[in-house]
Amino acid sequence: MYVDAHIHLYAEEYDGIREEVLKRAVENDVDLILSVAEDSETSLKNLELLRMYREKYKIYIGIGIHPYTAINNPDDLERVVDLIAQHHDSIICIGEVGLDRKYNNSMKMWDKQVEAFETMIQLSKDLLKPLNIHSRRAAKDVLALLRKHDVREAYFHWYTDDEETLREIVEEEYFVGFTPALLTSKRIQRFTEIVPLTQVLTESDGPVRYYGPLENRMGEPMHTKLIVEKLAQLYEEDPIEVTIMIRENFKRLFRIQYG
Ligand SMILES: [Zn+2]
């Protein structure tokens, strides 16, 4: 039973094939799917998807403001805060939130990102909802803010920064996500020497596309099985054991109660 801890299921790339994607996920033993949002509009779409599919599939959602939105549409922060307050019973995480140094083209822009992220951190703590974090080229900054606010529950989705910061993330007992980039990137494969399996999650980050065996295919939950197979090989563990552990990690972090 595989898990997809970070996907954008509302993405228009899935329009017309969304139900097929979910069916394929079930057929390939993916049973926990977490769709994160980027702004108020996609947060509302997630709420709608939850209403539509929750009876049939084990879909979970997050609401959040992506650093890209924090810069390009800063007024949206207030709407996202309202949505979280209103719908906190329907979400299992605050996300996708965080910081991105790639967008850091001015000090003012950086301040907007930090303001949005700190607002999300506060909500995460008040509502006991873990953070689903974007940290591209900014993992050190993210880590500093998590420490400043004494955050205990955080997931670094698709970690790509340096190994030294990764070691500190592991020490703080945060969770770290692997995407299908693990199949082809030696650099990311080396991260498995740092992160213990008890802190690992898998994700497609769909509809992102990857190189290697998944070339030309849109990311979807069933690809998490390939990540687990690769992890089993790298950690030299039984794939079934790895699958069970990652599923337990997901349930522990996001407080999923059932079986
Ligand atoms: Zn994402």
Structural domain boundaries in the chain: 2-254
Helices (H), the chain: 18-27, 40-53, 67-72, 76-87, 107-127, 139-148, 163-171, 186-190, 224-235, 239-254
Residue 99 tokens, joined: 């910081």
Angle between helices 163-171 and 139-148 (to 10 degrees): 20
> Which tens digits make up the pLDDT trace of 36-88?
999 999 999 999 999 999 999 999 999 999 999 999 999 999 999 999 999 99
Please provide the average confidence, as pLDDT, over all residues in the chain: 96
pTM of the model: 0.97
**CATH T-level assignment (fold) for domain 2-254:** TIM Barrel (3.20.20)
Q: How far is the CA of 7 from the centre of ligand 1 (A)?
A: 6
Residues 28, 60 contacting (CB under 8 angstroms): no
Q: How far is the CA of 235 from the centre of ligand 1 (A)?
A: 25
Environment of ion ligand 1 (residues, CB < 5 A): 96, 205
SS3 43: helix
> Which tens digits make up the pLDDT trace of 149-178?
999 999 999 999 999 999 999 999 999 999
SS3 content of the chain, % helix, strand, coil (to 5): 55, 15, 30
> Which tens digits make up the pLDDT trace of 14-31?
999 999 999 999 999 999
**How confident is residue 1, by pLDDT bands cut at 50, 70 and 90?**
very high
Q: How far is the CA of 207 from the centre of ligand 1 (A)?
A: 9
